[in-house]
């Protein structure tokens, strides 16, 4: 007998249901999860290279963009009714209420950066699709292992039309802030020789 359908279906969650689970304490306070395309996913532990790159990049962006944009680390972004990711870094429109009434939405996002040590394929494929679908114009994946920056631009449907990979000795400007040139090497953890 050929089975053509699974005997079960996965239950998809909405953002409202996901937020309610958080409010009632369903998740352990130390548990890191995010909602991606209706699925509640447990995020992997952050290694030292990941943490260092996230801190370095966020500090660099805060210094450069000072009063032009807010820089958030690992805070929720409200993409749609089924996705509320927590990107490593989000550069967003400054909100006078500091987003007390809502999470930043795609129209309020200038740039999203995911830092990848063990998550490169996931960030380049799954996350890129949800960000492209939400029309995030500038999406970067900082690959700490290969010391590269993957730059995704020109979103269309579920994919980006452009992906450029830059090495650590290159520099880049965010789409919304073309006057600021950022050295990729400054975003990466320093190389420590033994």
**For residues 167 and 148, is the Cβ–Cβ distance under 8 A?**
yes
Span 83-140, pLDDT tens digits: 889 999 999 999 999 999 999 999 999 999 999 988 899 999 999 999 999 999 999 9
pLDDT band at 38 (very low <50, low <70, confident <90, very high): confident
Strand-pair partners of 183: 171
Q: Which of 25-34, 99-108, 128-137, 174-183 has the lowest mean pLDDT?
A: 25-34
Cα–Cα dist 71/112, whole Å: 10
Q: What are phi and psi of 151, to 5 degrees?
A: -110, 115
What is the domain partition of the chain in residue ranges?
47-187
Report CA Rg, the chain: 18
Q: Select the more confidently predicted residue: 45 or 128.
A: 128
Mean pLDDT of 7-31: 74
The pLDDT, as a whole number, for residue 114 is 96
Cα–Cα dist 182/67, whole Å: 17
pLDDT band at 8 (very low <50, low <70, confident <90, very high): low
Q: How is domain 47-187 classified at the architecture level of CATH? A: Alpha-Beta Complex (3.90)
**What is the distance, to the nearest Å, from the Cα of residue 94 to the centroid of all Cα atoms in its chain?**
18
């Amino acid at each position: 007998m050929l089975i053509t359908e699974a005997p079960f279906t996965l239950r998809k969650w909405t953002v409202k249901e996901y937020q309610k689970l958080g409010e009632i304490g369903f998740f352990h306070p130390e548990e890191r999860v995010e909602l991606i395309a209706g699925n509640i996913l447990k995020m992997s532990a952050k290694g030292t290279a990941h943490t260092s790159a996230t801190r370095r990049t966020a500090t660099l962006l805060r210094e450069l963009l000072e009063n032009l944009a807010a820089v958030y680390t690992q805070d929720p972004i409200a993409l749609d009714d089924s996705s509320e990711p927590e990107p490593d870094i989000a550069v967003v429109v400054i909100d006078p209420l500091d987003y007390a009434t809502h999470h930043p939405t795609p129209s309020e996002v200038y740039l999203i950066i995911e830092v990848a040590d063990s998550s490169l394929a996931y960030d380049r494929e799954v996350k890129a699709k949800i960000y492209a679908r939400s029309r995030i114009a500038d999406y970067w994946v900082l690959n700490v292992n290969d010391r590269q920056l993957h730059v995704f631009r020109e979103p269309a449907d579920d994919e980006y039309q452009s992906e450029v990979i830059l090495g650590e000795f290159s520099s880049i400007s965010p789409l919304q802030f073309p006057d600021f040139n950022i050295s990729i090497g400054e975003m990466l953890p320093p190389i420590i020789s033994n």
